[in-house]
């Protein structure tokens, strides 16, 4: 049967004619020739300006929430290339998070507060990184005393520097869940910030843990620091154990490709690995919650890469201020849970691919919505 053609779009309603405005012709200064009109040119007399074309797709609903998802098998494997997203900051220079004058007024106090927090954190890190074991470390390697000592710095970054706003924290259920987020920034601060968001917004839940890929977990100093602060090496066994404890598990399936992409590719989702988080959800029966994080891309934008072999890392990132993050405004949106189909097996590749694509497309939708409503990179 031939494919049915879609109905032709109805013509747009007529646009009312604009009032004709004829500007008064101004004579040139004495002694200067009158400019000649180009051949065939006509004089415009009050022609109305064209309507600007809309930027990017419209959100799916009035409140910006992601559409309700139902599982259906995919006819083909999902593409590894994300569609083009609107670039940040195009909505206007004025931010929605406060005036520039207010921000400049607070700058001296912010700098003093940051320096005090950094000094305390560095003292704690110097003491904590040398810890080889003991009562202060849990089974995953987290050091409670180091976390407590670094807390003022994390609080400063979260509340004052990034001014993080969170939506949808109520969607996180008790009993364990997989929070799957986009990954960005030359240094992966999105894990600690999402962890801090859940600690503040859902204090009744067991403490969340974020999974770190091997390239980050085994990086000298950085990997040890993140492990002492709560990061867990990404592995099926560790994730299953965390879910069994009823914890929210934070997963960044783009991995090193997400934090290693150039700044020109910001907010373009990279490939979501081989669907490990979906297989974990199918094995444990825990729901998947898509999470969109806006702001990390501009906090530590990757401008280039230097060889990192001498430091035991794939590369050394080149950022505007080195390891110091820029004060981009962060917004975190946690979507509604995606329930795995009952009785589905992790060996069913069509189910795995469908759930991976459902999660990925939902995160893309939420990112588009956040970027479309953004007033500015630094003031929000």
Mean pLDDT rounded to a whole number for the chain? 75
Q: What is the pLDDT of residues 307-348, one digit of tens each?
A: 766 666 666 778 888 888 899 999 999 999 998 988 898 889
pLDDT at 92: 33
Q: Which residues make Cβ contacts (< 8 Å) with residue 108, sequence separation at least 6? A: none
**What is the DSSP pairing of strand 331-334 with strand 165-167?**
parallel
Whether the per-residue pLDDT at 70 is higher than 50: the answer is no
What's the rounded mean pLDDT across residues 58-71? 47
pLDDT at 58: 45
Token pair, residue 35, equals 């400019």
Q: Are 96 and 295 in contact (CB under 8 A)?
A: no
Q: According to CATH, what is the number of the domain 163-372?
A: 3.40.1130
List Cα–Cα distances, 159 to 154, 193, 204, 301, 333, in angstroms: 8, 10, 20, 21, 17
pLDDT at 59: 47
Other CB atoms closer than 10 Å to residue 22's CB: what's the count? Answer: 9
Nearest to 274 by CA among 172, 159, 356: 356
pLDDT at 109: 72
Query: Between 75 and 29, whose confidence is greater?
Result: 29
Domain boundaries, the chain: 163-372
Q: How confident is the model at residue 89 (pLDDT cuts 50, 70, 90)?
A: very low
Query: Between 248 and 260, whose confidence is greater?
Result: 248
Tell the burial category of 299 from Cβ atoms under 10 Å away from its Cβ (0-12, 13-18, 19+): buried
Can you name the residues that pair with 233 across neighbouring β-strands?
A: 212
Q: What is the pLDDT of residues 158-211, one digit of tens each?
A: 999 999 999 999 999 999 999 999 998 878 899 999 999 999 999 999 999 999
Q: Which residues make Cβ contacts (< 8 Å) with residue 337, sequence separation at least 6? A: 171, 173, 177, 287, 288, 289
Q: How confident is the model at residue 72 (pLDDT cuts 50, 70, 90)?
A: very low
Q: What is the pLDDT of residues 236-245, one digit of tens each?
A: 999 999 999 9
List Cα–Cα distances, 119 to 45, 111, 122, 149, in angstroms: 66, 12, 5, 11
Q: What is the pLDDT of residues 90-145, one digit of tens each?
A: 333 333 344 445 655 666 776 676 667 667 766 766 666 655 445 578 899 898 88
- Dist. CA 359–CA 349, nearest whole Å: 15
The DSSP string of 260-302 is TS-GGGTT-----TTSHHHHHHHHH---EEEEEEESHHHHS--
Cα of 341 vs its chain's centroid, Å: 27
pLDDT at 277: 95
pLDDT at 214: 84
Q: What is the pLDDT of residues 265-305, one digit of tens each?
A: 899 999 898 899 999 999 999 999 999 999 999 998 888 87
């Amino acid at each position: 049967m031939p494919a049915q053609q879609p109905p032709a779009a109805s013509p747009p309603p007529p646009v009312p004619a604009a009032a004709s405005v004829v500007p008064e012709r101004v004579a040139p200064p004495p002694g200067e020739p009158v400019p000649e009109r180009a051949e065939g040119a006509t004089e415009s007399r009050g022609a109305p300006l064209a309507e600007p074309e809309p930027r990017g797709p419209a959100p799916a609903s009035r409140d910006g929430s992601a559409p309700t998802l139902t599982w259906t098998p995919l006819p083909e494997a999902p593409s590894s290339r994300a569609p083009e997203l609107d670039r940040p900051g195009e909505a206007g220079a004025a931010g929605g998070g406060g005036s520039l004058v207010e921000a400049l007024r607070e700058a001296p106090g912010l700098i003093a507060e940051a320096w005090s927090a950094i000094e305390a954190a560095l003292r704690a890190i110097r003491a904590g990184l040398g810890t080889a074991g003991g009562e202060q470390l849990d089974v995953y390697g987290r050091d409670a005393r180091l976390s407590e000592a670094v807390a003022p710095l994390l609080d400063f970054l979260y509340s004052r520097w990034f001014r993080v706003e969170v939506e949808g924290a109520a969607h996180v259920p008790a009993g364990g869940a997989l929070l799957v987020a986009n990954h960005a920034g030359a240094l992966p601060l999105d894990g600690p910030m999402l962890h801090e968001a859940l600690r503040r917004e859902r204090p009744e839940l067991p403490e969340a843990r974020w999974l770190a890929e091997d390239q980050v977990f085994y990086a000298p100093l950085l990997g040890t620091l993140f492990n002492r602060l709560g990061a867990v090496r990404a592995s099926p066994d560790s994730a299953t154990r965390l879910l069994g404890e009823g914890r929210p598990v934070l997963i960044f399936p783009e991995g090193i490709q997400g934090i290693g992409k150039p700044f020109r590719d910001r907010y373009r989702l990279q490939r979501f690995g081989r669907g490990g988080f979906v297989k974990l959800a199918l094995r444990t029966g825990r729901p998947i919650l898509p999470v969109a994080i806006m702001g990390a891309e501009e906090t530590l934008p990757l401008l280039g890469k230097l060889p990192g072999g001498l430091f035991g890392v794939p590369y050394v990132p080149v950022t505007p201020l080195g390891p110091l993050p820029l004060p981009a405004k962060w917004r975190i949106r946690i979507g509604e849970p995606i329930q795995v189909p009952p009785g589905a097996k992790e060996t069913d590749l069509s189910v795995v691919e469908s759930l991976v694509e459902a999660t990925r497309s939902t995160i893309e939708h939420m990112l588009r919505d956040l970027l479309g409503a953004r007033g500015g990179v630094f003031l929000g």
